[in-house]
Structure 1
């Protein structure tokens, strides 16, 4: 199966134009998709509903959406009645196969005064793939503060590894006349982590590398798919600043549970995509 993660920057490309169809075109051939910066009623893209738009453009895929930030600044119509037009910013997962359950995991954040600080989250999707049930998370971490990213990674790993004991969105569902959902140990974390390989946050996610033997594949750390393939050569980037190309860097990743590491076949970055300031990160899972 082919999996891809893409921070779509509200649907606005490097040419500063809003173009959702080219986002959808960049996802062609994917079986499972994780998206970040998916918005509703956001002024930067004319208030478009990206969830509805992507669902219409990708009608053969199941989808779930998790707004991390959900606010209403008190809009009213001409008669003074509440409009209930909520501004939402979050993550989305789309799948060629049914998504049996989902949860929106809100990540730790701090109260910030000098820069905007949106609530961040990891959207969990239990996907009924042909090879077996699989947990997929669309993740978006803070882009400014290392301390906050570290707290978010600690919390994310705690929640992800607790899943086999918790059972996800529902357990004991026979009481309500429904079948018990599967509870897979395996997971995939995909998204915009706003960290670079070798950073303290990256090490917190993937584990320390031994001075002689390198980084090992162990049950308690997710495994970077780039480390299992040849998908990220030196100098590879996934975020582009055309005005300051010296700032370009690789900050989007896909991590898998250690037990899936032997099933990762290849990974690559789609450098041809122009629908966002990020590039899609792809990998194949056998």
Structure 2
């Protein structure tokens, strides 16, 4: 099973061109795709509907979209009536196999005034993979506040590990004539976490390594795929800041539920993709 995560930067590459074809080509061939910064009616990409565009370019995939931020500044059509062209910013999951349920988990945020602060979210998709049902989360956390990222990661982990108790989007489905949805323990968290390896928020996610014995794989912490299957070369990056190259760093990740760690056979960063200021991160599971 091949999985890939890609922050699309609303389809605009480092050359400042919007080209959705480049995004689609970069992820085509994956079995499950996690995307962030997917927009509708955003001025920076000529009001494109990226959800519709990606669905057309990748017709062999099921897809779900989770809106984190939704705004309407009162735009009117030529007839003077409400245009209902809402600016939407969020995450997307595409899968070769049916996505039988999804939830959009809004992450905690503060009222920041010195910099823009968008609502962030994690899109949960329950996928009927051939190896069994699997939960996949497309995640995007805050980019300028470590304090906020820590709060978001704590909240995300609480929700992910509470899945069995909550039952996902629906339980007691027989009342509505539906089969009961599966409740798999296994999950994958993929996305732009805006943190570097070993940072305080990274340790909140994975746990603090023992000073003598090192990191351990435990049931209550996700496992960073970069620590598995040989990882990626030292100095690897997944995001490039063209204005301030010194800020370029590794901030995109795939984390797997502890029972899945032994299934990770490879992890790599596609350094050739040019559709965004980020690079796709690929993970393969046995």
Measured against the shorter chain, the TM-score band is over 0.9
Is structure 2 residue 255 aligned with structure 1 residue 270?
no
User: Which deviates more from structure 2 when the two are superposed, residues 96-105 or residues 238-247?
Assistant: 238-247
Question: Residues of 2 paired with 1:69 and 1:144: CA distance?
Answer: 17
User: Which deviates more from structure 2 when the two are superposed, residues 214-223 or residues 79-88?
Assistant: 79-88
What's 2:141 paired with? 141
Residue correspondence of structure 1 range 132-211 to structure 2 within 5 A? 132-211=132-211
Once the two structures are TM-superposed, the CA of residue 79 in structure 1 deviates from its matched residue by 4.0
Q: Is the 8 A contact 1:238 1:252 kept in 2?
A: yes
Question: Residues of 2 paired with 1:231 and 1:281: CA distance?
Answer: 11
Q: Is the 8 A contact 2:28 2:58 kept in 1?
A: no
Question: Residues of 1 paired with 2:74 and 2:53: CA distance?
Answer: 25
Once the two structures are TM-superposed, the CA of residue 180 in structure 1 deviates from its matched residue by 0.5
Once the two structures are TM-superposed, the CA of residue 232 in structure 1 deviates from its matched residue by 2.1
Once the two structures are TM-superposed, the CA of residue 149 in structure 1 deviates from its matched residue by 0.3
Once the two structures are TM-superposed, the CA of residue 229 in structure 1 deviates from its matched residue by 2.0
Aligned pairs, number: 286
Question: Residues of 2 paired with 1:224 and 1:77: CA distance?
Answer: 48
Q: Is the 8 A contact 1:231 1:269 kept in 2?
A: no
- 1:214-258 per-residue CA deviation (whole Å, 9 max, x = no partner) reads 110000000001111223221010001233222110000000000
Once the two structures are TM-superposed, the CA of residue 78 in structure 1 deviates from its matched residue by 3.9
Is structure 2 residue 2 aligned with structure 1 residue 5?
no
Question: Residues of 1 paired with 2:165 and 2:261: CA distance?
Answer: 22
TM-score computed with the length of structure 2 as normaliser: 0.99
SS in structure 2 at match of 1:92: strand
CA RMSD of superposed structures (Å): 0.8
Is structure 2 residue 62 aligned with structure 1 residue 59?
no
Is structure 2 residue 34 aligned with structure 1 residue 34?
yes
What's 2:120 paired with? 120
Question: Residues of 1 paired with 2:229 and 2:247: CA distance?
Answer: 25
Which segments of 5 or more consecutive residues in structure 1 lack a partner in the other structure?
none
What's 2:283 paired with? 283
Is structure 2 residue 89 aligned with structure 1 residue 84?
no
Question: Residues of 2 paired with 1:79 and 1:279: CA distance?
Answer: 43
What's 2:75 paired with? 75
SS in structure 2 at match of 1:152: helix
Once the two structures are TM-superposed, the CA of residue 15 in structure 1 deviates from its matched residue by 0.6
- 1:131-165 per-residue CA deviation (whole Å, 9 max, x = no partner) reads 00000000000000000000000100000000011
TM-score computed with the length of structure 1 as normaliser: 0.99
SS in structure 2 at match of 1:273: coil
Question: Residues of 2 paired with 1:72 and 1:238: CA distance?
Answer: 32
